[in-house]
Amino acid sequence: MADYSLNSMAAFGIPPGEEKPKQKPKVEGPEKKVTQVGELPQPDNKPFSGKLQVIDPTKPLEVPEDAGAYQQYTNNFAKKYNKPENFGFVNDRADWGLFVNTESDETNKPVGQAVKDSAKKQGIRPELLFSSAMEEGMRKALPKNDGDKVQFSGSKNYPVDGYTSFGLDDFAGNFKELVKKGYLSSDFKNKFEVAENTNEKGRKVMSANFKTIDDALEAKAAVLKDASEKVATYASKNKIPLSDAAKEFFTLATFNAGEEGARKMMYSFQQQGLLDGDKFLKTEPKSWNGVWKNVMKRIVMANALKQENLFQEQ
């Protein structure tokens, strides 16, 4: 009988989007052998046919029967969204929609549902939470189909690595503040353990390992909510008008570059007139382009996935 769980196809053996280098030694869990599906195809020169739903990303795939359909789906997704306004960020992420129905090993709950649940609690877009998690490395926390092993924290009771797989560098260090602000309950402390790491800048950070992917997503949603409130407060205090799209951008910039970095970026863009009409979202700026690219990869994919209606409530 064909395997109807996306667990066996979750990462398709395709390299993730850009990730920051980690200095923590990689400790992995049990090896999971599954069927190889192939590399993510680059779009050919044929025009987009208008038929993206070769397979339904809200339903499990069959292995290996759907391998060809998978290739066609990702190829068509890349064609559909490979537009100038997306800056070429879609091609290497064209299979992300197929992860929405992936079930985690810990809960057997679709990742997409966990994303929706956590995003709803914090009043943020599920597509934004999903894209941010995927770009940081969430796919490494899911079973892979290339004969490799699943990323594992090394902790038996807290197997999900919040640092490597979700970019939650300072979560444990900021936990009390998140509770104080009402973004997490105090008993959430039972869902993670402190994990010390050294980040790409050589700074010691107090991250966390989580019991489940659901818990890691809930933590990440709280961190994004905190970042969004900081952006809104700073913009209001300094009378800097921001569109909803700009608020999302600087929320992710706060997550990526830190609160101070995001503020400097916002001020710089304001001085250059790039906040007017969201010009900075339409053309790559000459300054802060490193952070801009990191954030825009997440924004572009969040918007594409929203157009595909993959996170609609059933």
149-152 and 27-31 as β-strands: parallel, antiparallel, unpaired? antiparallel
The mean pLDDT of the chain is: 82
CA–CA distance, 95 with 76 (Å, rounded to integer): 10
Q: What is the pLDDT of residue 285?
A: 96
Query: Does the pLDDT value for residue 281 go beyond 70?
Result: yes
Task: Give the least confident one: 61-65, 233-237, 276-280.
Answer: 61-65
State the angle between helix axes of 289-307 and 67-81 in degrees (0 to 180), rounded to the nearest 10: 120
Average pLDDT over residues 120-134: 97
pTM for the structure as a whole: 0.81
Q: Sketch the domain layout of the chain as residue ranges.
A: 6-227+297-307, 228-296
Q: What is the pLDDT of residue 97?
A: 87
Average pLDDT over residues 74-98: 91
Instruction: Give 12 or 60, the one with higher predicted confidence.
Output: 60
Q: What is the pLDDT of residue 122?
A: 98
Calculate what percentage of the chain has a pLDDT beyond 70: 76
The encoded tokens of residue 94 equal 């064209």
pLDDT tens for 206-230 read: 999 999 999 999 999 999 999 999 9
> What residues does 192 pair with on adjacent strands?
210
Q: Confidence band (pLDDT; 50, 70, 90) for 104?
A: confident
Q: What is the pLDDT of residue 11?
A: 36
Q: How many CB atoms lie within 10 A of CB 22?
A: 15
